[in-house]
Amino acid sequence: MVLFNRRVITNMDKQPDEARRNRSVKLALFFGAIAVLWYVVSMIVVWIQ
């Protein structure tokens, strides 16, 4: 599903190269995964307590 009209994404065509964009996504996924894991782990720790 296209969430936003491509033309609306104002700066995307001005962003640096594809490799840098991919690195941004990978970094975002990495930190997002840490946040979700931490959320789950904190609840598991409380559960065990």
Partner 1 sequence: MGTTTVAHHDEHHDHPTGMMRWLTTTNHKDIGTMYLTFALIMFMVGGALIMAVRAELFQPGLQLMKPEFFNQLIGVHALIMIFMALMPAATGFANWMLPLQIGAPDMALPRLNNWGFWLLPPAAILLTLPYILALFGIGDGALATGWTFYAPLSVQGGIGVDFAIFAVHLLGISSVMGSINVIVTIFNMRAPGMTMMKLPMFAWGWLITAFLLIATIPVLAGAVTMLLTDRHFGTHFFDAAGGGDPILFQHLFWFFGHPEVYILLLPVWGFMPQILQTFARKPMYGYKAQVYSLWAIGTLSVVVWAHHFFTVGMPVPALLYFMYSTMAISLPLAVLFYCWIATIWKGSMSFETPMLFAVGWIILFGIGGLTGLVLADVAADAQYHHTYFVVAHFHYTLFAGGIMGIMAGVYFWLPKMTGHMYNEKLGKLHFWLTAISFNLTFIPQFFLGLAGMPRRIPDYALQFAEFNMISSIAAFVLGLSQLLFVYNIVTCARGGKKATDKVWEGADGLEWTLPSPPPYHSFTEQPVIK
Residues in contact with partner 1 by the rule CB under 8 A: 3-5, 7-12, 14-16, 20, 23-25, 27-28, 31-32, 34-36, 38-40, 42-43, 46-47, 49
Q: How far is the CB of 20 from partner 1 (least distance, A)?
A: 6
The amino acid present at 24, given as its one-letter code, is S
Q: How far is the CB of 3 from partner 1 (least distance, A)?
A: 7
DSSP string, 25-44: HHHHHHHHHHHHHHHHHHHH
Q: How far is the CB of 22 from partner 1 (least distance, A)?
A: 10
First to last CA, the chain: 43
